[in-house]
Homo-oligomer: A and B are copies of this chain.
């Protein structure tokens, strides 16, 4: 297994990326190809024990920053670590590409240098989301690549998400649902209502509408939605978790007896925090491009980088891209496009 890592991407690069790469190489035994400025990467590697690990450097002289305009930056900087890493994947010089950089740039680079899987109309950004189900997670897509969608896109998101849930997450016959403003059939905006017949016809276990509150409750394994709504869904979840933590912290400040209480509760609260920690999720996956591309959170630390590398390897092992290609051949929507 060879994974190309954008050593320059993310708020904490190159420290967190190189550290995460060393961690993954040691724990998981992979070759992690470090893409970026050789001097910078070499300096980081020099501070760590890398004996016996396979961590080759793949030179790229340019960097795409978090606040760069995605499509423009990818075209303007052909020797960026993002572009070089994705091109390695396109040429078969690596099995997957992982970056903590600009999500839009990752998508733009993948579209430019890898292209879509033949038949896929739009790639989606997909992520794990914590739930109170037995498995503890569901898979949500699209969370941001396509702000305005058509029913055929949502159908393909459902197909791709279902394969991913089965092959990478190990959920058999995953329950696929569409995010809506009511669980009853007929509830929804025009896109949801128009998508229903297509979703019902698909070769996956479509279980109907779910509401916003049903997703954390674990009522579906795969949740499809347009990228606008999906983004609101994910960001709102982040914001509410942050608000709750702030409100509890404020309460602790106001009630002196709560402080020793909080200390006693610490292991319980830490277990809760771990469950909701994005660093455990292993980043978002681009589904629908012709290769495994994982984009981690810009704030990722070394642990999150390690987990993103592991997640990418799981997608390679599960052959999600191959499954989508084969699945599209067997569905009408795939043939039409």
Contacts and interface: CB of A to CB of B under 8 A. Distances in A.
A212 B188 contact: no
A246 B213 CA distance: 13
Interface residues of A, number: 64
B268 A239 contact: no
B247 A257 contact: no
A189 B246 CA distance: 31
Contact of A240 (B180, B228, B237, B267): B237
Interface in A226-282: 226-229, 231-244, 246-248, 250-252, 254-255, 257-258, 260-272, 275-276
Contacts of A242: 213, 216-217
B217 A181 contact: no
Interface string A9-48: 0000000000000000000000000000000000000000
Contacts of A237: 212, 236, 240
A319 interface: no
Contact of A233 (B132, B212, B252): B212
Contact of A248 (B131, B190, B268): B268
A336 to B, nearest CB: 24
B258 A228 contact: no
Contact of A247 (B147, B255, B265, B275): B275
B267 A251 contact: yes
Nearest to A259: B264
B181 A232 contact: yes
A185 interface: no
A228 B226 CA distance: 12
A130 to B, nearest CB: 7
Given A181-B227, A236-B212, A239-B214, A267 B272 contact: no
A188 B236 contact: no
Instruction: Select the residue from A147, A188, A215 with max chain B CB neighbours within 10 A.
Output: A147
A258 to B, nearest CB: 4
5 contacts: A144-B181, A181-B228, A212-B236, A228-B229, A248-B268
